[in-house]
């Protein structure tokens, strides 16, 4: 059956006049973003959240009603005013021809995108049929169909061309005014740069085809190798990266396996890397708290994890009922059964960290209010305790674990300012930095003129990395933020190299790794120029 790969006018010459902006330069083509949706109205919030300078290619299944077209045209005009470019008319897919995945794949080969943005492949249920024991999803079926086909096509495209493709799925039902980072179905990576046991750095990032890795050479002169696609199951486009107590890197994600009858099984999986640059270990399944029903299991949130003070792994997910489920290792190293914490109905935004007494803490953004809940366990034998009265009001997509340990960072919902809070604190401490969006990463114990300091890195204006610092344990002294580098596809990350220098890493809009190192002995906190790998 033929695939529709040619450009299609949306409706008459007006669409050509509205969207045509000349041919992009080679550099522009390398940084193109493909927005693949069911119809023009679905494209509007994705266009609105694209940063200045983006090269946007539109792909949809249905031309939509006149009102949808007008809304899309207004979004395009606004995007052009902030410097975005639209190289040509939208691609129009044809459901009647079948093989949507093949059609989208052909489009991706023509567009050559570094980024792909689409809809929610597994939207949450709006009701539940108790007689049939099945969730009821009110989201139009075409949206999920296009999203799932896009994920498959992006995976095949990356495997064919061999370069990373970064995918973002916008959560169904999200506020149209929210930026992309605040309503992604799968969270953006935060602590994706890790120091191995031998002192070398590795960068792990989720892409359409799986996890890609860059590895630091044994000497600075060797540079970095990668990006290398790691072997593994078909993963959804997100990744939790965790450094274990023994210094190994743990990669945690959601796998999706097609069932023989119908639907797909979604499971939490993890793998470990024991030596820098070597192949990772086998991917092990942790299962799904709603495994009895694949229709319910597909809605599972993205996992987070932590090791407690005794080295026990704890894995947390948001379950079908919008509460938290946890599974942990037994003393023999196996995984115990899933345990539901109940209580607060939470969004798909959790962070976990160890407690000093040997247990763990979890902070979760509430589903229906601008607040958060705190769950903790003093040790593995103790009951879970819930506290909903914590002074944490996080902007969506901003929760992260602080490098000091036992501390949470977030952007205050009312101002977007970066804040820090720890269990027991009566109020959070503001750190400034209301520009940008998303979580904050960093390291503690950095040497700045002989002082131990915490260095933070976050997205600033237009996705450019913003770097700040304060004396260890004294966030109340304030933070001066300074932007550096170019816009990044992912939030910036930080780690120490083998000489104890802070290393900041980003990924340029062309998909290449960029690294800057701290200059020890300088006056203040200074970094080398960015190097591209």
Asked whether residue 99 is assigned to any structural domain, the reply reads yes
What contacts 146, CB < 8 A, 6 or more positions away? 36, 37, 38, 60, 61, 93, 100, 118, 119
φ/ψ of 363, rounded to 5, equals -115, 130
φ/ψ of 27, rounded to 5, equals -65, -40
Q: Are residues 47 and 89 in the same domain?
A: yes
Asked whether residue 214 is assigned to any structural domain, the reply reads yes
Asked whether residue 395 is assigned to any structural domain, the reply reads no
Domains of the chain: total = 2
Q: How far apart are CA 231 and CA 451, in angstroms?
A: 42
Asked whether residue 24 is assigned to any structural domain, the reply reads yes
SS3 per-residue string spanning 365-429: EECCCCCEEEEEECCCCCCCEEECCCCCCECCCCCEECCCCCCEEEEECCCCCEEEECCCCCCCE
Q: Are residues 153 and 193 in the same domain?
A: no
* pLDDT, tens only, 388-433: 999 999 999 999 998 888 899 999 999 999 999 999 999 999 999 9
| Domain boundary, last residue among 236, 254, 287 | 287
**pTM of the prediction?**
0.93
pLDDT at 232: 92
Q: Are residues 221 and 264 in the same domain?
A: yes
Q: Are residues 139 and 221 in the same domain?
A: no
In the chain, the N- to C-terminal Cα span, in Å, equals: 41
Q: Are residues 94 and 170 in the same domain?
A: yes
Asked whether residue 40 is assigned to any structural domain, the reply reads yes
Q: Are residues 193 and 63 in the same domain?
A: no
Q: Which two tokens stand for residue 167?
A: 């995918």
pLDDT at 19: 36
Asked whether residue 487 is assigned to any structural domain, the reply reads no
φ/ψ of 452, rounded to 5, equals -80, 125
Query: Does 439 score more than 70 pLDDT?
Result: yes
Query: Does 236 score more than 80 pLDDT?
Result: yes
What average pLDDT does this structure show over 109-113? 95
Q: Are residues 162 and 196 in the same domain?
A: no
Q: How far apart are CA 65 and CA 298, in angstroms?
A: 31
Asked whether residue 298 is assigned to any structural domain, the reply reads no
The answer to whether 180 touches 197, Cβ cutoff 8 Å, is no
- Residue (of 342, 295, 351, 338) closest to 322 by Cα position: 342
Domain that holds residue 104: 12-180
The answer to whether 48 touches 33, Cβ cutoff 8 Å, is no
Of the pLDDT bands very low, low, confident and very high (cuts 50, 70, 90), residue 361 is very high
What contacts 278, CB < 8 A, 6 or more positions away? none
Q: Are residues 167 and 254 in the same domain?
A: no
* pLDDT, tens only, 454-489: 999 999 988 999 999 999 999 999 899 999 999 999
| Domain boundary, last residue among 121, 154, 180 | 180
Query: Which of 4-18, 191-205, 293-307, 410-424 has the lowest average pLDDT?
Result: 4-18
Q: Are residues 39 and 115 in the same domain?
A: yes
What average pLDDT does this structure show over 274-282? 94
Query: Does 3 score more than 70 pLDDT?
Result: no
Q: For 472-519, where are the E strands, in sequence order?
A: 482-487, 493-496, 502-507, 513-517
Q: Are residues 139 and 235 in the same domain?
A: no
Q: Are residues 30 and 117 in the same domain?
A: yes
Q: Are residues 52 and 151 in the same domain?
A: yes
Asked whether residue 58 is assigned to any structural domain, the reply reads yes
| Domain boundary, last residue among 287, 320, 347 | 287
Query: Does 296 score more than 60 pLDDT?
Result: yes
* pLDDT, tens only, 72-99: 999 999 999 999 999 999 999 988 777 8
CATH number of the domain residue 63 falls in = 3.40.50
């Amino acid at each position: 059956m033929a695939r529709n790969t040619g450009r299609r006018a949306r409706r008459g010459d007006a669409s050509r006049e509205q969207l045509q902006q000349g041919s992009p330069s080679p550099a522009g083509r390398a940084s193109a973003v493909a927005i693949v949706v069911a119809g023009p109205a679905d494209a509007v919030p994705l266009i609105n959240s694209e940063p200045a300078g983006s090269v946007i290619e539109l792909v949809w299944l249905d031309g939509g009603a006149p009102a949808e077209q007008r809304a899309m045209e207004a979004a395009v005009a606004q995007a052009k005013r902030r410097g975005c470019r639209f190289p040509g008319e939208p691609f129009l897919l044809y459901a009647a021809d079948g093989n949507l995945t093949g059609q989208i794949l052909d489009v991706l080969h023509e567009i050559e995108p570094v980024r792909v943005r689409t809809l929610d492949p597994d939207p949450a249920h709006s009701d539940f049929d108790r007689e049939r024991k099945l969730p009821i999803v009110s989201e139009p079926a075409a949206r999920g169909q296009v999203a799932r086909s896009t994920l498959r096509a992006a995976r095949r495209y990356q495997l064919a061309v061999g370069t990373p493709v970064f995918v973002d799925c916008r959560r169904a039902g999200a506020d149209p005014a929210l930026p992309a980072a605040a309503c992604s179905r799968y969270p953006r990576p935060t602590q994706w740069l890790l120091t191995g046991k031998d002192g070398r750095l590795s960068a792990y990032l989720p892409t359409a085809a799986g996890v890609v890795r860059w590895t630091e050479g044994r000497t600075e002169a060797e540079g970095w190798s990668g990006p290398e696609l790691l072997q593994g199951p078909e993963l959804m486009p997100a990744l939790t990266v965790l450094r274990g107590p023994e210094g190994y890197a743990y990669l945690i994600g959601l796998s999706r396996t097609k069932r023989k009858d119908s639907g797909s099984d979604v499971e939490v999986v993890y793998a470990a890397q024991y030596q820098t640059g070597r192949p990772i270990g086998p991917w092990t399944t942790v299962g799904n708290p709603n495994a009895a029903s694949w229709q319910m299991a597909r809605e599972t949130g993205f996992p987070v994890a932590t090791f407690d003070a005794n080295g026990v792994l704890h894995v947390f997910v948001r379950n079908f009922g919008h509460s938290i489920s946890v599974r942990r290792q037994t003393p023999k190293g196996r995984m115990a059964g899933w345990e539901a914490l109940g209580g607060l109905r939470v969004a798909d935004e959790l962070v976990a960290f160890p407690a000093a007494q040997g247990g763990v803490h979890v902070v979760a953004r509430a589903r229906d209010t601008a607040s958060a809940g705190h769950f903790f366990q003093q040790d593995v034998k103790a009951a879970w305790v819930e506290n909903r009265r914590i002074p944490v009001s996080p902007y969506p997509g901003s929760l992260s674990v602080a490098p000091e340990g036992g501390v949470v960072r977030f952007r205050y919902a009312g101002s977007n300012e970066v804040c820090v809070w720890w269990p027991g604190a009566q109020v959070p401490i503001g750190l400034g930095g209301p520009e940008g969006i998303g979580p904050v990463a960093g390291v503690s114990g950095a040497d700045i003129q002989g002082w131990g300091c915490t260095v933070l890195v976050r997205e600033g204006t237009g996705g450019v990395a913003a770097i700040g610092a304060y004396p260890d344990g004294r966030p109340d002294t304030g933070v001066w933020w300074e932007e550096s580098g170019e816009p990044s596809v992912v939030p910036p990350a930080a780690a120490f190299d083998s000489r104890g220098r802070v290393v900041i890493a980003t990924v340029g809009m062309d998909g290449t790794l960029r690294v800057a190192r701290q200059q020890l002995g300088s006056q203040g906190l200074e970094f080398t120029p960015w190097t591209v790998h």
